[in-house]
Structure 1
Amino acid sequence: MTARRLVLLRHGQTSWNEAGRAQGHADISLDATGHAQAAAAAPYLAAVRPVALWSSDLARARETCGYVAEAAGLSVKHDERLREFDVGVRQGLTLDEFAVRFPDEHAQWVAGDQPMPVAGGETAGDVCARMMPVLRECLDSLDAGETGVVVGHGASLKVGLLGLLGWDIDGHRDLVVLDNCGWATVERRAGDERIRLAGYNEKVLRSAAI
């Protein structure tokens, strides 16, 4: 059956990814590995013949999407709703630094008692509320048989995906985050309003990306 497909691609690696720092809304660019990952993934994404590209407006997503845009011959629509979680005062900190500076909040975060207890941060519900509409808009804009690609961030894509599928977002910690330049695919078949997960954390082999 003919389906509309949406591919959700996480950005390539940054130096903060490598150091384990919470990026949130920080405008961090790809590092050399991230550029190599994006360059390697782009032909695979172009091969699904996307008709539209959307991206978070943060640098690491924009730069990743640029490789796909060039390979697919498409322009990009940037949308700030596709940004990563706002991680509040945790932004820029490693987990060890977080534990030292905010021990109570760190303990709650590790235990999963609160989805985002740090001052100024978003909850999973907050992120789902802004991700769901834009992902639905992207999918609804496609005609039967068409594919679109959304480039975003690990945690927010995961929560948005769960919401799009109608799964419990409170269980988001039980689903692994997409690897850098890993992607998930959802589809909605003609005559069926259900959105199905067709693939998760697909990626180019590391040896091919570096």
Structure 2
Amino acid sequence: MTGRAGGPRIVFWRHGQTSWNLQSRFQGSTDIPLTEAGLSQAKRAARLLAGLRPDRLISSDLQRAVDTAGELARLTGLEVSHHEGLRETYAGEWQGLTNAEIRARYPEQYAAHGRGEPVRRGGGELSTEVADRSVPVVLEAVEKLPEDGTLVVVSHGGTIRTMLGRLLGLEPMQWECFGGLSNCCWSVLGQGIRGWRLLEHNAGTLPEPVMGDDT
């Protein structure tokens, strides 16, 4: 990313496609592997992200994230640090169910979550609890970056949303303002004068420099 302000940068990269993604099943902490298409997505995205010359690479310890991160590690020579704290939201009884099944079996929970209320989906974690366990992992890695360094975080769509919301200082009810990440796409935070700012969201190509009055 050329033409950016100085300071650290965090690239939040979602894992590639899985069979449960194709079936619209809630994966959560269930350890589902990549499909062949998902592995191809990871290879393509890794070639692009290697162009950012990342300094550190951390990943969820679930296999779909591990294998996605491994493609970037092979291209950059970086060692991957795996963390349980970067796993997807644990959603208890929702895990393994399709979206239609969840709406049919848990209509009140589903509706409350849609309204932005704190809900233990399927008896699992609150979104704020996911942020509590994931954000410290990221900030610890940021502290180890060189000046103006880049950290790549390989994680999951729901967990990435909570990390973005927490790091940008938004109230939990506002975290859903971030649309979902497509498989193997990423979001980028950069350090601004007043803290973290969102530079890219759901990107699949390398960003262009920002030119004009809003640099």
Shared fold by TM > 0.5?
yes
Q: Secondary structure at the match of 2:154?
A: strand
The 2-side partners of 1:8 and 1:153 are apart by 9
d(CA) in 2 for partners of 1:11, 1:115: 26
Q: Which runs of 5+ in 2 are unaligned?
A: 207-215
Q: Is the CA contact (8 Å cut-off) linking 1:135 and 1:164 kept in structure 2?
A: no
Cα distance between partner residues in 2 of 1:26 and 1:116: 19
**How far has the Cα of 1:108 moved from its partner?**
3.1
- Aligned partner of 1:154 among 157, 171, 174: 157
- Flag the 1:70–1:128 CA change in 2: closer, same or farther, 3 A: same
TM-score by length of 1: 0.89
RMSD: 1.8
Displacement after TM superposition at 1:98 (Å): 1.6
1:184 is matched with which residue?
A: 187
Q: Is the CA contact (8 Å cut-off) linking 1:14 and 1:31 kept in structure 2?
A: yes
Deviation of residue 75 (structure 1)? 1.1
Whether the 8 Å contact between 1:87 and 1:116 is mirrored in structure 2 is: no
CA deviation vs aligned residue, 1:171-208 (integer Å, no higher than 9, x gap) = 1222101111111111225xx46112111111159xxx
Q: Give the Cα separation in 2 of the matches to 1:74 and 1:131.
A: 21
Of residues 18-27 and 93-102 in structure 1, the stretch that sits farther from structure 2 once superposed is 93-102
Evaluate the alpha carbon distance shift between residue 175 and residue 193 of structure 1 in structure 2; reply closer, same or farther with a 3 A threshold: closer
1:172 is aligned with what amino acid? W
Give how far 1:113 is off: 5.4
1:199 aligns with 2:200: yes
Is 2:97 aligned against 1:93?
yes
* Number of matched pairs: 202
Pair 168,109 (structure 1): closer, same or farther in 2 beyond 3 Å: closer
The secondary structure found in structure 1 opposite 2:148 is: coil
- Contact 1:40–1:204 (8 Å) recurs in 2: no
Q: 2:91 touches 2:120 (CA, 8 Å); kept in 1?
A: no
Give the drift of 1:104. 3.3
The corresponding residue for 1:5 is 9
Residues 7-63 of structure 1, C-alpha deviations (whole Å, 9 max, x = no match): 110000101011100000000000121111101000111111111110000011001
Q: Structure 1 unaligned runs (5+)?
A: 206-210
Q: Name the CA distance, whole Å, in 1 between partners of 2:108 and 2:6.
A: 51
DSSP 3-state at the match of 1:21: coil
**How many percent identity over aligned positions?**
40
Tell whether the 8 Å contact from 2:57 to 2:81 is kept in structure 1 after alignment: yes
Which residue in the other structure is 1:76 paired with?
80
Q: By how many angstroms is 1:116 displaced?
A: 3.0
